[in-house]
Structure 1
């Protein structure tokens, strides 16, 4: 197949592109940096420098590639694009990413329609943001929590809008858990080692994780099977912060994380951090395993963190 990967040089794109190439697909991958064209060429892809917010350029790139499927992985979360992580102000930290997830999505969808691209796969999110009612582990049938009234709402609404638009045209949404793997959590590990990543309250909030290579393999399956619908792309082990954060510290050779009360965490770290750490809901991967035939290299972050940081 001819696959157009928008955002091919990001942390997931760098794992996805080689997997697609290895399975015989012809890949056109975009990057915002000419300096990364060599990386894409080495991975076996045709690289294109592209600003995802330039609608005319997106349309031209897609028309030249004539893809059978577009895979939307455009973000601007890295420090090079977004600066130092700011979990207290996700609306500011994710400002350009939110534009890529709104305007950028519109440009890709318009290009797909103009060229007649038959399939579309887009990035979603499923880590701690399940609806805060009922059990601690959610399926694709459960609503997401959009954290209305908080700084996180604008970004979560942008993701919800992508889902609506892509599902309307029969595409697939890959709701990835929190990424870890090469280049994905370096900033978090640094904070853990400095004891600047504390547990909030009792750390009862659940999160779901996924290794980049497993996220990429699930995406390849969705591409090849022309999958439709929503899939939670997470590992087998949703867990509370009180489990995964101390273990991450242990694997990183750091001291155990400090613990701070909710009343102090809210002004210091913001609503999103408090919700994630104290009330977050994780996700089930049963549908992706059942319908895509997805098999994980790292069924648990317990194996993955150790492998990544040893």
Structure 2
């Protein structure tokens, strides 16, 4: 299969391209950096230096590649260091999830590509009800600092399955692994990430190579729609944050009340720490035939830190 991968040098793309090549696919891989093109070529992919917001360039690149599937992994999170104002930190990524998505869908239509696999994330979507949400659960209202980010996610999730015959959206849990959430590990080691309000918020994690293997599965099979991609072990902050500190060789995180957390980190972080909900991966397991190598963050964190 000919596969056109955008965001190929990002945290997930670095795993996705080798996995696709190992599975026998022909890969055209995009990067915004000319300096990274040689590495993609050396890996066995056909590199394209591309700005995902340049509609004409995106259409031309896709038409030239004639792909059977397009993978939308474009983000701009390499310099992410804070979640206090999510909309500010995700402004460029939100544009890639709206204008960039439109550009790729226009390219798919022009090239006659039926299958498009796009990524979103679950962090802004849920803060009430069951601890592990399924794909059909309605979104909760976002906090003000994450409203534009959730709107961009909604846009991808509503637009992609409706725009192409085989539109799939992978809703990833929180990435971890080398290059994926280094700021989180740094904050834990520096004692800058306390447990807020008892740490009752539920998180779903996914190690980056596991996220890539789910993406390969979605390229090769699966009905159109949304699939949650997380590990088997959604967990409260009160469990995973002290454990991460332990395996990282750091002091246990401090415990602070909600009022202090709001002052230090803002409403979005407090919600994530206290009321956020995780996701169920049952649909992806059943319909994509996928399972994570790291079924729990407990094992995955140890491998990451090592």
User: What TM-score, normalized to structure 2?
Assistant: 0.96
| Alignment map for 1:64-103 (pairs within 5 Å) | 64-79=64-79, 85-103=81-99
* 1:132 aligned onto 2:127: yes
| Alignment map for 1:130-209 (pairs within 5 Å) | 130-148=125-143, 150-168=144-162, 169=164, 170-209=166-205
Q: Tell me, what secondary structure is at the counterpart of 1:122?
A: strand
Residue equivalent to 1:104: 100
In structure 2, C-alpha distance between the alignment counterparts of 1:44 and 1:175, rounded to whole Å: 28
The 8 Å contact of residues 288 and 294 in structure 1, kept in 2 or not, is answered as yes
In structure 2, C-alpha distance between the alignment counterparts of 1:162 and 1:129, rounded to whole Å: 14
In structure 2, C-alpha distance between the alignment counterparts of 1:193 and 1:164, rounded to whole Å: 39
User: In terms of mean alpha carbon deviation, does 225-234 or 158-167 score higher?
Assistant: 225-234
Q: Which of the numbers 237, 249, 253 marks the counterpart of 1:257?
A: 253
User: What TM-score, normalized to structure 1?
Assistant: 0.95
Give the superposition deviation at 1:264: 1.7
The 8 Å contact of residues 130 and 283 in structure 1, kept in 2 or not, is answered as no
* 1:288 aligned onto 2:258: no
Q: Tell me, what secondary structure is at the counterpart of 2:5?
A: strand
CA change 1:125–1:182 in 2 (3 A) is same
Q: Where has structure 1 moved over 6 Å in runs of 4 or more?
A: none
In structure 2, C-alpha distance between the alignment counterparts of 1:242 and 1:265, rounded to whole Å: 15
Residue equivalent to 1:5: 5
In structure 1, C-alpha distance between the alignment counterparts of 2:90 and 2:141, rounded to whole Å: 15
The 8 Å contact of residues 200 and 259 in structure 1, kept in 2 or not, is answered as yes
In structure 2, C-alpha distance between the alignment counterparts of 1:19 and 1:161, rounded to whole Å: 28
Q: Tell me, what secondary structure is at the counterpart of 1:171?
A: strand
In structure 1, C-alpha distance between the alignment counterparts of 2:305 and 2:82, rounded to whole Å: 24
CA change 1:173–1:154 in 2 (3 A) is same
In structure 2, C-alpha distance between the alignment counterparts of 1:226 and 1:108, rounded to whole Å: 20
Superimposed CA distance per residue, residues 95-134 of structure 1 (whole angstroms, 9 cap, x where no aligned partner): 11111111111111111111111111000112x4453332
Give the superposition deviation at 1:146: 4.3
In structure 1, C-alpha distance between the alignment counterparts of 2:131 and 2:269, rounded to whole Å: 17
Residue equivalent to 1:243: 239
Give the superposition deviation at 1:219: 0.6
In structure 2, C-alpha distance between the alignment counterparts of 1:292 and 1:200, rounded to whole Å: 36
In structure 2, C-alpha distance between the alignment counterparts of 1:47 and 1:195, rounded to whole Å: 41
In structure 1, C-alpha distance between the alignment counterparts of 2:36 and 2:297, rounded to whole Å: 29
The total of aligned residue pairs comes to: 304
Q: Tell me, what secondary structure is at the counterpart of 1:151?
A: helix
The 8 Å contact of residues 119 and 226 in structure 1, kept in 2 or not, is answered as no
Structure 1 residue runs without a partner (length 5+) = none
In structure 2, C-alpha distance between the alignment counterparts of 1:96 and 1:302, rounded to whole Å: 32
Q: Tell me, what secondary structure is at the counterpart of 2:151?
A: helix
